[in-house]
Amino acid sequence: MAFRYPGGKKYIKSNHSKVTDTPARFANRGMSLEQDINETNKHYNATGKAVIHKKPTPVQIVNVDYPKRSAAKITEAYFKQPSTTDYNGIYRGKYIDFEAKETKNKTSFPFGNIHPHQVDHMKQVLHHGGVSFFIIRFSIVDETYLYDASHFIWWYTEQTQRKSIPKQHIEENGHRLAIKYAPRVDFLDIVDHVYYS
């Protein structure tokens, strides 16, 4: 199926896109980051702690093939608008907005699948007093960090000769997230400490 951005530009998947390893491949390492965060958000919503949801990607379906009467296959679709970040919601009276990414890289977080309009969106969230960050999982070493958007923005806009952020910087300036049963990735515990103390 062919996806296109507004204006007709064809979407090409980056080599540094989100890791989609199945739970079977990393059986002892749990679910994918997106699954972990979705389960965490369900827990937060069910317990009344926060209202945070994954943003749907707006898509305009253009062509559909009907190989059988009982089956339909989408063969061409367009992104209605560029996506911003993966998740947003409200917690303790503040707007929360964040992006979740996994990488197989052991020593750095590549910019790869982060687009300029996403960075601009995060800048706007910070400008208006919202909370914006990344949740980054280094899947090979099974480490997950909450990393403030302001750090990422600095690397992305000021260190233009680089294509990634060193893992050491994320370790020193981010916050390691423990994987638990429920909530699975308790990022709001870190949000309390970093943004509300």
Could you tell me the CATH number of the domain that includes residue 115? 3.40.1350.10
Residue 30 lies in a domain: yes
Residue 88 lies in a domain: yes
Q: What is the pLDDT of residues 106-120, one digit of tens each?
A: 999 999 878 888 999
> Can you say whether residue 71 is alpha, beta or left, with left for phi > 0 and alpha for psi between -120 and 50 degrees?
beta
Q: Is 118 annotated as a binding residue?
A: yes
Among 160, 172, 58, CA closest to 119: 160
Q: What is the pLDDT of residue 12?
A: 60
Percent of the chain's residues with pLDDT above 90: 57
Residue 62 lies in a domain: no
For residues 129-140, average pLDDT: 96
Residue 9 lies in a domain: no
| Structural domain count of the chain | 1
Q: Is 39 annotated as a binding residue?
A: no
Q: What is the pLDDT of residue 6?
A: 58
Kindly tell me if the per-residue pLDDT of 79 is higher than 70: no
pTM: 0.73
Residue 86 lies in a domain: yes
Q: What is the pLDDT of residues 15-32, one digit of tens each?
A: 444 443 333 333 334 459
Q: Is 99 annotated as a binding residue?
A: yes
For residues 64-70, average pLDDT: 75
Neighbours of 151 (CB within 10 A): 17
Q: What is the span of the domain harbouring residue 51?
A: 22-56+82-195
Q: Is 84 annotated as a binding residue?
A: yes
Which band of pLDDT confidence, cut at 50, 70 and 90, is reported for residue 185? very high
